[in-house]
A and B are shown apart, each in its own frame.
Chain A
Amino acid sequence: GESVGLHLPTLSVQEGDNSIINCAYSNSASDYFIWYKQESGKGPQFIIDIRSNMDKRQGQRVTVLLNKTVKHLSLQIAATQPGDSAVYFCAENTGNQFYFGTGTSLTVIP
């Protein structure tokens, strides 16, 4: 669950396509999960969250899926736009601690 050295997975998608970003979490006791978007030189920006009593949650153009059986979280971005290019990472909450994934770098090709 803790952040590790940065060799970011990368994902390139065509503008207008859907993007799926995956995250494996480590602690089966984690009960709250957040997806963040971080643009270069900026702070992580909250996108969407989900609690462990749900398996799907939808926002505006984004959907988060939670599979507790395999400890997997995914973020789906519909109709990806150039402004979606950023690093995306998930965070899991266990007790009062958040642990962050290393992130995935999304590049949207116009």
Chain B
Amino acid sequence: DSGVTQTPKHLITATGQRVTLRCSPRSGDLSVYWYQQSLDQGLQFLIQYYNGEERAKGNILERFSAQQFPDLHSELNLSSLELGDSALYFCASSLTVAGNTIYFGEGSWLTVV
């Protein structure tokens, strides 16, 4: 158990809908990362937050957004969902922003039908 908690574990939703994925980082970690992993691609970095502030952006679509709250938990919002958004979404956390191990949660499996 990495200490990173993600909910829900599985989610099935229809195209055009909106979902929110939730992540609680490891105790004491200030940085949260979101990654997408689909069958035909490896881990794709989406976005990173550090202590409530956006720190880095990767290949995140405009339909997706995220935030980190004062209690350091984070949410990833996915809207206007398309079939191609079906993937595993991982949250990871680390102590600070650079040079520290990042620990992954078990992921949220999103299926868009």
Contacts and interface: CB of A to CB of B under 8 A. Distances in A.
B101 A49 contact: yes
A89 B97 contact: no
Interface in A32-67: 32, 34, 36, 41-46, 49, 51
Given A46-B2, A96-B97, A3 B44 contact: yes
B90 interface: yes
Interface size range on B against A: 20 to 34
Nearest to A103: B42
Interface size range on A against B: 20 to 34
A80 interface: no
B45 interface: yes
A40 to B, nearest CB: 11
A96 B102 CA distance: 11
Interface string B24-62: 000000000100000111111100100000011000000
B56 A44 contact: no
B19 to A, nearest CB: 19
Interface of A: 2-6, 31-32, 34, 36, 41-46, 49, 51, 89, 91, 93, 95-103
Interface of B: 2, 4, 33, 39-45, 48, 55-56, 88, 90, 97-99, 101-107, 109
